[in-house]
Structure 1
Amino acid sequence: MFRRTPLPPPPPPEHLCDWPDRESMLADRVLAMAELRRRSLTVAGLLLLWSLGLVAGVGWVLVSLGLGHFEDRSADYLTGLVELILGVIVLVPAMIGAGFSVARDRAVRDRIDAWAELGPDPENDHRLRAGARSAVWLGLSVVLCVTGLGLALTGGGQPDSAGVGEVAYLVGIGVIALVIGVLGAVRAVGHQRWAEHVLSPVQPRGRGGAHR
């Protein structure tokens, strides 16, 4: 059975620390923070978040079709009821999965903060910034937010002749896309702010070469 690799543990309490010297502590700190940073902004993580949004969208399409059947008096109400039930069955797990994704991201951030509090390590901390990766996350998430907002506004602006199912479809899909985009943007911005305030500042390179 497939199991997700557990996160690196937080550093031990101060009274249980048994590092012989600072170099040993920093070596463990580098390994733990590098692994936690790798788990934070991965391509797989972005695809997983978007996949959850896609599954939620499929569920909402079924819900919208069900609402459309109930609006049409000549339609088969049993089919509409089945579509509503199937939509909820698909939609709820996707929402729960998104909640777990947010909780896991929070756990990663808490553990990487705990390791960072052990002390600065300017020589290695600059590798954890992941500026390009967070920029990609932020850019794609903003595009998704704009798309979702546009769909939601389009659905809300439908004429009175539009059916409830059609309006619910556009508004619901737009809101789902907007929420997924916001979650991705929050993670990217949070990482950038964390890197700016927690990690050791990047050491400026000396002009004319380093002295040996």
Structure 2
Amino acid sequence: MFRRAPLPPPPPPADVYDWPDLESLLADRAAAMAELQRHGLSVARMLLLWSLGLGAALGWILVSLGLGHFEDRTADYITGLVELVLGVMVLVPAVIGVGFAVARDQAVRERLDAWAELAYDPENDHRLRAGARSAMWLGMSVALCVAGLVLALTGGGQPDSAGLGEVAYLVGIGVIALVIGVLGAIRAVLHQRWAGHVLSPAPERGRGGAHR
């Protein structure tokens, strides 16, 4: 079974700092923050998010096919029921996976904040801005949002003669693509906002505990 790599732990509380000097603290801080950033904006994370979206889309396609069978009085209801059950079995784990991905993103941001609060290290912090990767995340996510919105509007604008399964298929796939795109765009925007606020020079940010 696939297991995700664990996140770097948060820094110890201020009253139990055990770094012998500032250089040791900055070295651990840089290593932890670089690893956390890779967990947040890597290509692998984008592929994982999009894979969860594809899983949800596959599940919704099966659900739509099942709905189409129940709408057609001459269709095989058993086949429609099987498709509905299979669709739910694929869709629900994908949705849960997206929820876990969102929670993991929140944990990454919280630990980045905690490590950033220890000290200010301009020589290493500029590498954490990841402007190119953020732009890639944002560009591809916006493109996915546009595609999802077009599909959803196309499905919603179907004529009355269109079947329930067809409308549900287009609207559902569009909404899934839109949600995945929005999540990716939010991740990129939040990282750049974090970089702009947390990584900017702020002498008062340091707690002073590292110099003991």
Shared fold per TM-score greater than 0.5: yes
Aligned match of 1:167: 167
C-alpha displacement at 1:127, in angstroms?
0.6
Find the aligned partners of 1:126 and 1:14 in 2 and give their Cα distance. Answer: 25
**Structure 2 unaligned residues grouped into runs of 5+:** 202-212
Give the equivalent residue in structure 2 for 1:137. Answer: 137
Aligned to 2:193: 193
Q: Answer whether contact 1:126 1:200 (CA < 8 A) is retained.
A: no
Q: Distance in 2 between matches of 1:112 and 1:162?
A: 50
Partner of 2:20: helix, strand, or coil? coil
SS in 1 for 2:15: helix
CA distance in 1, matches of 2:73, 2:85: 19
What is the CA–CA distance in structure 1 between the aligned matches of 2:38 and 2:133, rounded to whole Å?
A: 10
Q: Name the structure 2 match of 1:83.
A: 83
Q: CA deviation at 1:139?
A: 0.1
Q: Which runs of 5+ in 1 are unaligned?
A: 202-212
Within 5 Å, give how 1:150-161 maps onto structure 2. 150-161=150-161
Aligned equivalents of 1:145, 1:170: Cα separation in 2: 14
Distance 2:100 2:2 in 1: 17
Paired position in structure 2 for 1:21: 21
> Alpha-carbon deviation of 1:119?
1.7
- For 1:84 and 1:41, the matched residues in 2 are separated by 35
Q: Report the secondary structure of 2:119's partner residue.
A: coil
In structure 2, how many angstroms separate the alpha carbons of the residues matched to 1:69 and 1:117?
A: 58
Partner SS state of residue 158, structure 1 = coil
Counterpart of 1:69, as a letter, is H
Give the match for residue 204 of structure 2. Answer: none
The match for 2:70 is 70
Residues 60 and 2 (structure 1 numbering): CA distance in 2 closer, same or farther, change over 3 Å?
A: closer
The aligned residue for residue 209 of structure 1 is none
Moved more, 123-132 or 18-27: 18-27
2:123 corresponds to: 123
Offset of 1:3 from its aligned partner?
3.3
Q: Deviations over 1:6-36 (max 9, x none)?
A: 1111000011101112111111111110111
Match of 1:98 in 2: 98
Q: Which has the higher helix share?
A: 2
Q: How many Å apart are 1:2 and its aligned residue?
A: 4.8
Q: TM-score, normalised by structure 1?
A: 0.93
Distance 1:50 1:2, change over 3 A: closer
Task: Kindly state the Cα deviation for residue 129 of structure 1 after the two structures are TM-superposed.
Answer: 0.5
Q: What amino acid sits opposite 2:109 in the alignment? A: R
The aligned amino acid for 1:189 is: V
Equivalence for 2:12: 12
Asked if 2 retains the 8 angstrom alpha-carbon contact of 1:152 and 1:174, the reply is yes
Q: What is the aligned residue count? A: 201
2:8 maps to amino acid = P
Q: Is residue 2:57 matched to residue 1:57?
A: yes
Moved more, 3-12 or 49-58: 3-12
SS state of the match for residue 172, structure 2? helix
Q: State the distance in 1 between where 2:87 and 2:108 align.
A: 32
- In percent, how many aligned pairs have the same letter? 80
Amino acid in structure 2 at the alignment position of 1:90: V
Contact 1:121 1:200 in 2 (8 A): no
Q: Distance in 1 between matches of 2:187 and 2:3?
A: 24
* Whole-angstrom CA distance in 2 between matches of 1:98 and 1:117: 29
